[in-house]
DNA sequence: CCCGACACTAACGTGAGCGTAATGTCGGGC
DNA sequence: GCCCGACATTACGCTCACGTTAGTGTCGGG
């Protein structure tokens, strides 16, 4: 039941680095539910889910303190900060998220264009050296 | 002909900040073609195009020193560094670019999923408070 | 009880800029 | 010919989200 794992296993399961996980604690995003006698971080299943949630948020480009607020609404914990007017805040987050998606789509467009251009440049110089023979 | 503009106009035309443009010079990405008597940076049309090229590369997530090398191949200038085996390097860049596109597509997928989830959370709590009446 | 794997903290480094201060330059008006 | 406001310059420090050591401590199996 209270399956507690230490940071290494969590890192493996989430794909986050040890440093990142500790950092998220440092800034109050995910605080491990317990510590061992010797001071090892002990994480529970919900802790891991929370980290995975954060990982899924990252492509949206939120800053960590924004994520802290969003988590306080979506997945509150005892030591989550109080958010005033969470309803309102959620609307803002949603708007930001839509905007982030739009930005990503635009970026992807530009990136694909650029990648195509690179493929072009890859062909033409080869043809030049073929012609040289 | 030699339409030379100062950094302010360049910033406006490229959408980059003054600080960023100076930074790109600092790291050797885009060095202005000339300086005024008083030391003002004077940019030419090709300089601006170069900056726009960089701006288009950014979504691919290249680091600035990689961009410097790529520019040295695609758009070499007198003071570009020598690149050995540019052919080979270009292939690497192209691969990296394809990878970056793939990453962006994945990110976009996750982001869209997340945005949809946020829209959900936006509906359901409203319904709850409507039901309460 | 000892070893190797794993974890801990503390502190400095990095990339790609942004902010700010103190100072210098430009160009038009008078 | 000089003055003023807008714009420019260098130079330094800050930021964010970690990465990278270094040095030490803890855990669990043999």
Q: Are residues A1 and A66 in the same domain?
A: yes
Instruction: Check residue B39 and give left, alpha or beta (phi > 0: left; psi -120 to 50: alpha).
Output: left
Q: Are residues A34 and A90 in the same domain?
A: no
Chosen domain end from A80, A97, A118: A80
pLDDT at A131 exceeding the cut of 50 = no
For B117, half-sphere exposure in the C-beta direction (CA atoms, 13 angstrom radius) is 12
Asked whether residue A18's C-beta has any atom of DNA/RNA strand C within 7 A, the reply is yes
- The encoded tokens of residue A72 equal 């306080």
Which range of residues forms the domain containing residue A20?
1-80
Q: Are residues A76 and A88 in the same domain?
A: no
Instruction: Please report the pLDDT score of residue B2 as a whole number.
Output: 52
Q: Are residues B72 and B98 in the same domain?
A: no
Chosen domain end from B43, B63, B80: B80
Q: Are residues B65 and B122 in the same domain?
A: no
pLDDT at B113 exceeding the cut of 60 = yes
Q: Are residues A73 and A8 in the same domain?
A: yes
Other beta carbons less than 10 A from residue A20's beta carbon: 15
CATH number of A9's domain: 1.10.1660.10
**A83 touching B (Cβ < 8 Å):** no
Nearest to B68 by CA among B89, B48, B87: B89
List chain D nucleotides near protein: any atom < 7 Å from a Cβ. Answer: 7-10, 16-20, 25-27
β partners of residue A35: A41
Instruction: Please report the pLDDT score of residue A49 as a whole number.
Output: 95
Instruction: Please report the pLDDT score of residue A5 as a whole number.
Output: 95
Beta strands at B41-42 and B34-35: parallel, antiparallel or unpaired: antiparallel
pLDDT digits (tens, 9 = 90+) for A61-119: 999 999 999 999 998 888 777 888 888 889 999 999 999 999 999 999 999 999 999 99
Nearest to B94 by CA among A114, A104, A86, A56: A114
Stretch A30-46: mean pLDDT: 95
Q: Are residues B66 and B129 in the same domain?
A: no
Virtual torsion, Cα A64, A70, A72, A76, nearest 10 deg:
-120
Local confidence band at A2 (pLDDT 50, 70, 90 cut-offs): low
Q: Are residues B14 and B33 in the same domain?
A: yes
Residues 6 or more apart in contact with residue A7 via CB below 8 angstroms: A18, A21, A22, A32, A40, A41, A43
Q: Are residues A20 and A5 in the same domain?
A: yes
Q: Are residues B43 and B100 in the same domain?
A: no
B96 vs A68: CA distance, rounded Å: 33
**B113 touching A (Cβ < 8 Å):** yes
What HEC string does B5-28 produce? ECHHHHHHHHCCCHHHHHHHHHCC
pLDDT digits (tens, 9 = 90+) for B24-81: 998 889 989 888 878 888 998 899 999 999 999 999 999 998 998 899 988 888 777 7
Q: Which residues touch strand D (CB under 7 A)?
A: A 17, 19-20, 23, 27, 36-40, 58, 63-65; B 6-9, 18, 22, 39-41
Instruction: Please report the pLDDT score of residue A30 as a whole number.
Output: 95
pLDDT at B131 exceeding the cut of 60 = no
Q: A121 or A40: whose pLDDT is higher?
A: A40
State which residues between 36 and 65 of chain B bring their CB within 7 Å of strand C: 36-40, 58, 62-65
Domain tally, chain A: 2
pLDDT digits (tens, 9 = 90+) for A14-27: 999 999 999 999 99
Q: A18 or B129: whose pLDDT is higher?
A: A18
Instruction: Please report the pLDDT score of residue A54 as a whole number.
Output: 95
B10 vs B3: CA distance, rounded Å: 12
Asked whether residue B8's C-beta has any atom of DNA/RNA strand C within 7 A, the reply is no
Instruction: Please report the pLDDT score of residue B132 as a whole number.
Output: 46
pTM (two decimals): 0.87
Instruction: Please report the pLDDT score of residue B133 as a whole number.
Output: 38
Instruction: Please report the pLDDT score of residue A95 as a whole number.
Output: 92
Nearest to B50 by CA among B2, B16, B98, B84: B16
Q: Are residues A127 and A88 in the same domain?
A: yes
Q: Any idea which nucleotide's C1' is nearest the CA of A54?
A: D17
Q: Are residues B76 and B95 in the same domain?
A: no
Instruction: Please report the pLDDT score of residue B83 as a whole number.
Output: 77
pLDDT at A43 exceeding the cut of 90 = yes
Out of A74, A98, A122, whose CB is closest to B115? Answer: A98
**Rounded to 5 degrees, what angle do the CA atoms B23, B101, A92 make?**
75
């Amino acid at each position: 039941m209270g399956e507690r794992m230490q940071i290494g296993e969590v890192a493996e399961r989430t794909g986050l680095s040890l440093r990142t996980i500790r950092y998220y604690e440092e800034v109050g995003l995910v605080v491990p539910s317990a510590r061992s006698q010797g001071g090892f971080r002990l994480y529970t299943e919900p802790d891991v889910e929370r980290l995975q949630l954060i990982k899924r948020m990252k492509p949206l480009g939120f800053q960590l303190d924004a994520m802290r607020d969003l988590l306080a609404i979506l997945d509150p914990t005892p030591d989550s900060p109080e958010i005033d007017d969470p309803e309102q805040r959620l609307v803002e987050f949603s708007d930001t998220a839509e905007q982030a998606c739009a930005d990503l789509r635009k970026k992807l467009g530009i990136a694909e264009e650029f990648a195509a251009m690179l493929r072009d440049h890859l062909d033409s110089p080869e043809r030049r050296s073929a012609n040289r023979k």
